[in-house]
Amino acid sequence: MIGVTATPYELVRSVETADLDERAHVNNVIYLRWVQDAAAAHWDVLAPAGARDELAWVALRHEIDYHSPAVLHDEVAVRTWVGVAHGLTFERFTEIRRKADGRLLASARTLWCPVDARTGKPQRVSAEVRARCSVPASDGDRYG
């Protein structure tokens, strides 16, 4: 059984004028912001009591593939789920789809490191946090 950690979390965003680049498409920086917003919101849901005060996450790597542009007034679903953890590296996947037609706009894989919220130093996590924020290697090495 994969458990609750494999359950995707979803945010909905509407494309605004400030999100656009010179080609009237959503700027790549906005996609990254959505990836980070979804990860943070998902952590708020997954975090055991007290963990948010003690533990923070820093991004080690973002890989984003752009499939199709989003444009002004598009409503998009930003769907994220956890992947595999190796040591202090935790994997997370995100898909961004246009709600009107379900078209995949972007997909991302991000590697995160847990850090002590006070010192910023890498920190090992409890078994409970590890279980909530990662999946076994055989289940997490895939998209969706």
Tokens 């494309």 correspond to what residue?
A: 15
pLDDT (tens digit per residue) in 116-137: 999 999 999 888 888 888 887 7
Rounded Cα gap, residues 93 and 54, in angstroms: 24
pLDDT at residue 3, rounded to an integer = 38
Average pLDDT over residues 4-28: 90
Cα–Cα distance for residue pair 68/25, rounded to 1 Å: 9
Tokens of 103: 């078209």
46 in helix, strand or coil?
helix
Distance CA 29, CA 89 (A): 23
Q: Which domains does the chain have, with CATH numbers?
A: 4-140 (3.10.129.10)
| H-run or E-run covering 57 | strand 55-66
**What digits encode the pLDDT tens for the residues 22-79?**
999 999 999 999 999 999 999 999 988 888 899 999 999 999 999 999 999 999 999 9
Q: Which two tokens stand for residue 70?
A: 């989003």
Place 6 in a pLDDT band, splitting at 50, 70 and 90: low
